[in-house]
Chains A and B, each alone.
Chain A
Amino acid sequence: MIEFRNLHKGFNQKPVLAGFTLDVRDGETMVVLGYSGSGKSVALKHVVGLLEPDAGEVVVDGEVVHQLDRARLMALRARIGYVFQFAALLDSMTVRENIGLGLARQGLAETDTDDRVREALALVDLAGSDDRYPSELSGGMRKRVGIARAIALRPRYILYDEPTTGLDPVTAAVIDRLIVRARERTGVTGVVVTHDIRSAYTVGDRIAMLYRGTIRQVGTVEQIQKTHDPVVRQFIEGRPEGAADAETAFAGIVT
């Protein structure tokens, strides 16, 4: 279980998260929707301790992330797969080495590593790309390698930062199916950050909307689809004018 408890985080006096509270239950896929720049990536980074909260806390499996010592933090990170928004592949390494990196860290034998790498690549429809370098791949392919790198670890949690943004509709649908399949097969708990509303409906068990630093609404896909909240309605219908001021949302919170 991942619990965001009253999380506050700002950069250069500008608040980004202000009282962000959300529970992600074991086995579910939680989608976090929000405008560009609303702090979705910032929230995710707190789960693995890449950022420290100004106030509040993130609790994973009962442990407060920013209070863990190094060894425990490492153990926690080994249980979490993180799919970066821009893939963040190590560009001096081949696809195989990228995926094997985390496995090697967890002490997997070489032959098992090879199997896992192959399996993960097949899952993202990239079988045979083992020896290519990230610079030789398209943006969408890199993203899929990023997903493979997380899945290969067979983690308890996977955090997807905009897994389908910037992909063509078909590839996006493939990724969506992949996320659903990963959950069905391994029972992994997922957090999917996105502003792709179609993807949200496909992969989400529940959907939460981040707006102005807090969760505006959280509910099942159905509840969100039928919502009367004007801000959420505007977002899911993609209307340019309405209750939500997209501009302030974009710039974070203007104080």
Chain B
Amino acid sequence: MLELVTARARGGLVAVGRVGHFLTDVSRGLRDTPTWTRLTLVQMRRIGAESVPIALFIAAFTGVVLALQASYTFTGAVPMYFVGTLVGKTIMLELGPVLTGLALAGRVGANIAAELGTMRVTEQVDALETLAYDPIAYLAVPRVVAATVMFPIVVALAMVMGVTSGWLTAVNLLDLSTVEFVRGLKLFYQFKDIWFGLVKSLSFGLLIALIGCIKGLSVSRGAESVGRATTDAVVLSAMMILVLDAFWAVVLL
């Protein structure tokens, strides 16, 4: 039993060590700007722009549900305009970043791991090395930079969408006026709500891309190994998003 626990703990430390080691490789790769700048633009489109629809879709439905559940919870005792407060706070602080993060862990993380893993087994990564490229600068840096930059943007759009759909629900399905909704929205609002959410999403983007790259590049042989790396990347990113979410709550709130 104790052995199992120490083995797990050691495994965890090794994983953290690998992420740290990879981060130093990435920062070395960052110095090789001619290699990664143009590629980063391509990744920004693939990782960022193409993720907007799914993020907006999730946010729209979350807004509806939040508004309805808030009104259901507040019957009588709490004034109805608190619906606005709850929708705003929940979307900005938690559900915007975390739900988007989880969805993109699947979309982006899996994509990176599968693509790099396939490149590894078909020796495309080796080919890059023989052409005197640093695969980290060529493959990992563009993805990591793009995800880190684009996640906050995608999440900001999701926040707007979530609050908007909450407002539309409140006005159309609940007996709430726009004035009341906005009053609730402003009630405990602080600017920190937004940047806290955006800092979180930035860290999620960085994390998802890093894990995808590590898992993808460490594939050793065959299709099965690519499949495993992809699953691992998604599961690990999802778990780490929740851990990181709790971490930010403790540190920043």
Contact = CB atoms under 8 A, between A and B. Distances in A.
A243 interface: no
B126 A50 contact: yes
B124 interface: yes
B251 interface: no
A102 B124 contact: no
Given A86-B123, A90-B124, A80 B130 contact: yes
Contact of A102 (B126, B132, B134): B132
Interface of A: 45, 48-50, 70, 74-75, 77-78, 80-82, 84, 86, 88-91, 101-102, 105-106, 149, 153
B127 A84 contact: yes
Contacts of A86: 122-123
Interface in B142-179: none
Contact of B131 (A49, A75, A91, A101): A101
Nearest to B133: A105
B129 interface: yes
Q: What is the interface residue range for chain B against chain A?
A: 10 to 19
Contact of A88 (B127, B132, B133, B134): B127
A74 B128 CA distance: 11
- Residue of B127, B129, B131 contacting most chain A CB atoms (<10 Å): B131
A88 B122 contact: yes
Contacts of A149: 131
Given A90-B127, A149-B131, 20 more contacts: A45-B126, A48-B129, A48-B130, A50-B126, A70-B134, A77-B130, A77-B132, A78-B132, A80-B130, A86-B123, A88-B122, A88-B124, A88-B126, A89-B127, A90-B128, A91-B124, A101-B128, A105-B131, A105-B132, A105-B133
Interface of B: 119, 122-124, 126-134
Nearest to A82: B130
30 contacts: A49-B129, A50-B126, A50-B129, A50-B130, A70-B134, A74-B134, A75-B132, A77-B130, A80-B130, A82-B130, A84-B123, A84-B127, A86-B122, A86-B123, A88-B122, A88-B123, A88-B126, A88-B127, A89-B124, A90-B124, A90-B127, A90-B128, A91-B122, A91-B124, A101-B128, A101-B133, A102-B131, A102-B132, A105-B133, A106-B132
Contacts of A90: 119, 124, 127-128
Contacts of A105: 131-133
A102 B128 CA distance: 8
A222 B156 CA distance: 73
Contacts of A49: 129
Nearest first, the 8 closest Cβ-Cβ pairs linking A and B are A88-B123, A82-B130, A102-B131, A88-B127, A77-B132, A78-B132, A74-B132, A48-B130
A74 to B, nearest CB: 5
B21 to A, nearest CB: 15
Contacts of A102: 131-132
A243 to B, nearest CB: 33
